[in-house]
Structure formats: structure tokens, C-alpha cells
Amino acid sequence: MAGPTKPLPSASLHIVLALLDGELHGYALMGRVAELSDGAVRMGPGTLYGTLNRLVDDKLIEETTDRVPREDNERRRYYQLTASGRAVAVDELVRLQGLVHRIAGHLPGPATA
């Protein structure tokens, strides 16, 4: 069994978490990331597509554009998590939950965990 893996970089983390609900195209993905982060993370096109490129190379996501017919007037590329990408996203969620839980236990004042 492999040991603990390194956390994903911030942009990759936000994208794999945003894709947990299903496939999205670039602009929708950007909006979903902004929504999940409460507006704190707003990626530019270069950051978004550079990260998508890396995640595709790492086989954590895959392009699904040609699999189903689209209603878009302009041809957009859709992406979804692969099986290993979904596993990584879930691992990241568990890691973040553990982190929050441990930090909350050490915070002064009323317990919030």
C-alpha cells in the first residue's frame, strides 16, 4: 500500500473538487471554482488551462467533449474526473476534513469541532 500522498497544488485541488459533481467546460468550471471558494479563487484562462493540461497529463481528468452531443453554439471542451482523479479528490477531501478537525481541537475559546 502506498504511503500518504502529497497534497495537490491549490489550482489542481480546486479543479478536481469542482469536477466532483460531474463534467464541466472551462467557463463553467471557472465559475464552479469561484462558487466553491466563495469568490476567493478566480482563475485566469492561463491558470485554468495550464492546470487542466497538467491534470490531463496526470490522468486525473479526461476530456469528454465528443462523447455526447452538445447544445452549445460554440464548440466547448468538457472535462470530467477519471476514476483515479475521483479517488484523489476524495482523498483530498478527507485530508482537508482531518486538517480542519485537528486545528479546531487546538483553537482557544469554545470548541467548534
Binding site for another protein (CB under 8 A): 5-8, 26-27, 30, 42-50, 52-53, 58, 60, 74, 76-77, 88
C-beta of 60 vs 81, nearer to another protein? 60
Instruction: Name the minimum Å distance from CB 16 to another protein.
Output: 11
Instruction: Name the minimum Å distance from CB 78 to another protein.
Output: 11
- 48 φ, ψ to 5°? -65, -55
C-beta of 45 vs 105, nearer to another protein? 45
Q: What's the CA angle centered on 103, arms 102 and 106, to 5 degrees? A: 95
Note the helical H segments in the chain: 10-18, 26-36, 45-57, 83-106
